[in-house]
């Protein structure tokens, strides 16, 4: 994993940990956690996270990629963002 990939994963898990209901420690976030069912992330919190992600990492996500419904797990989210950053 590149330094940028590690930074992305760390940033995302930190933000997801804060947005989770109830909030938790970033170390508790697993790649297999389901965004809605396990972390109880709501649509507004997810949209805010994605807008911040665009600002921090310069990833320009497609409109459909900004919607929570397009992702099941933390890994799905990280994988899609990596594609937009050109890290496949």
Among candidate residues 25, 50, 65, 20, the one with its CA nearest the CA of residue 38: 20
Distance CA 44, CA 9 (A): 21
What are the tens digits of pLDDT across the range 36-49?
999 999 999 999 99
Q: Which residues pair with 73 in a beta bridge?
A: 34
CB 72 within 8 A of CB 30: no
pLDDT of residue 23 exceeding 90, the answer is: yes
CB 81 within 8 A of CB 8: yes
Q: Considering the entire predicted model, what is its pTM?
A: 0.89
Q: What is the pLDDT of residue 88?
A: 55
What are the tens digits of pLDDT across the range 68-85?
999 999 999 999 999 888
Q: Is the preceding peptide bond at 22 cis, omega within 30 degrees of 0?
A: yes
Q: What is the pLDDT of residue 1?
A: 59
Can you list the domains of the chain with their CATH numbers? 3-23+32-84 (1.10.1200.10)
């Amino acid at each position: 994993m590149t330094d940028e990939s590690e930074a992305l994963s760390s940033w995302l898990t930190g933000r997801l940990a804060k947005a989770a209901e109830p909030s938790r420690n970033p170390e508790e976030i697993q790649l297999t956690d389901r965004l809605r069912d396990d972390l109880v992330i709501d649509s507004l919190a997810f949209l805010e996270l994605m807008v911040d992600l665009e600002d921090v990492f310069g990833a320009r996500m497609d409109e459909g990629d900004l919607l929570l419904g397009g992702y099941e797990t933390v890994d799905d989210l990280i994988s899609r963002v990596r594609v937009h950053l050109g890290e496949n």
